């Protein structure tokens, strides 16, 4: 099966948001599961990652729904994978990557660096996108792309979460994560924000979705390279 991904260009960057298709994993992880911290076959995950990144080294971290953003010039050593929810790279030929299964993947492109940020409601509330913008450390324009994530059509939350986002909680229970992300990015000074307009919960046959498929599922990726 051929790799099926959403590929786009930002000024100074190439961005890819993967789907479920094009990998070698089986069962609930079929087929392009990129999540190392799942119960999938590790060899299958590594082959899937190679395909997703076109064979390039991948700069990544272990995501913890926090606000830390780190800088890497290549793949981290196996015994020193940091806990972080964003990765910046200034190296050409290296793919910055985050993983999602309903949370929002955000690509950031600056004149001399790219970043990928993982933003769920906890990260959005804590300022992970602002941290990603700040980590680029640039005086030039920053451009952003928001990838597939749970949409306002489907993402239901309780009152303790809705009250954190009063302007984006529809009827007090459906949270528009991507609208929150776009607003936070613009407030942080991002020049323009592109949203690919896909809901992972609406399309569980296309995207991995924790909410739609349950906890035993894979992870798709958001990747960015300097162009």
pTM: 0.98
Count of the separate structural domains present in the chain: 1
> Mean pLDDT, 10 residues at a time, over the chain (227 residues)?
92 98 98 98 98 98 98 96 98 98 98 98 98 95 98 96 94 94 98 98 98 97 97
- Convert 73-85 to b/e letters by CB count within 10 Å (16 or more is b): eebbeeeeeeebb
Report which of 153, 194, 154 is spatially closest to residue 7, judged by C-alpha positions: 194
If you count them, how many residues does the chain have? Answer: 227
Q: Name the one residue in this structure whose structure tokens are 């009827």.
A: 171
CA atoms of 133 and 219, how far apart (whole Å): 24
What the block records as the tokens of 98 is 């985050």
Contact 144, 123 (CB under 8 A): no
Q: Which domain covers residue 215, as residue numbers?
A: 5-226
Q: Is 42 helix (H, G, I), strand (E, B) or coil?
A: helix
CATH code (residue 153): 3.60.140.10
What the block records as the tokens of 101 is 């299964």
Contact 225, 115 (CB under 8 A): no
Residue 197 makes CB contacts below 8 A (sequence gap 6+) with none
């Amino acid at each position: 099966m051929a790799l099926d991904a959403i590929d786009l260009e930002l000024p100074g960057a190439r961005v890819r948001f993967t789907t479920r298709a094009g990998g070698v994993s089986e069962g609930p992880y079929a087929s392009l599961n990129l999540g190392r911290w799942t119960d999938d076959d590790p060899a299958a995950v590594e082959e899937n990652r190679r395909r997703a990144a076109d064979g390039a080294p991948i700069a990544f971290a272990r995501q913890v729904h926090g606000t830390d953003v780190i800088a890497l010039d290549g793949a981290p050593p196996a015994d020193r994978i940091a806990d972080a929810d964003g990765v910046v790279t200034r190296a050409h030929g290296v793919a910055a990557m985050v993983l999602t299964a309903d949370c929002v993947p955000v690509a950031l492109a600056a004149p001399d660096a790219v970043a990928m940020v993982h933003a769920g409601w906890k990260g959005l509330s804590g300022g992970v996108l602002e941290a990603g913008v700040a980590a680029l450390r640039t005086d030039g324009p920053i451009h952003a792309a928001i990838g597939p994530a749970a949409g306002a059509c489907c993402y239901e939350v309780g009152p303790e979460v809705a009250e954190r986002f009063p302007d984006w909680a529809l009827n007090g229970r459906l949270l528009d994560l991507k609208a929150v992300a776009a607003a936070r990015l613009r407030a942080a000074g991002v020049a323009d924000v592109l949203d690919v307009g896909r809901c992972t919960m609406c399309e569980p046959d296309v995207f991995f979705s924790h909410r739609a498929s349950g906890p035993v599922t894979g992870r798709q990726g958001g990747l960015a390279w300097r162009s």
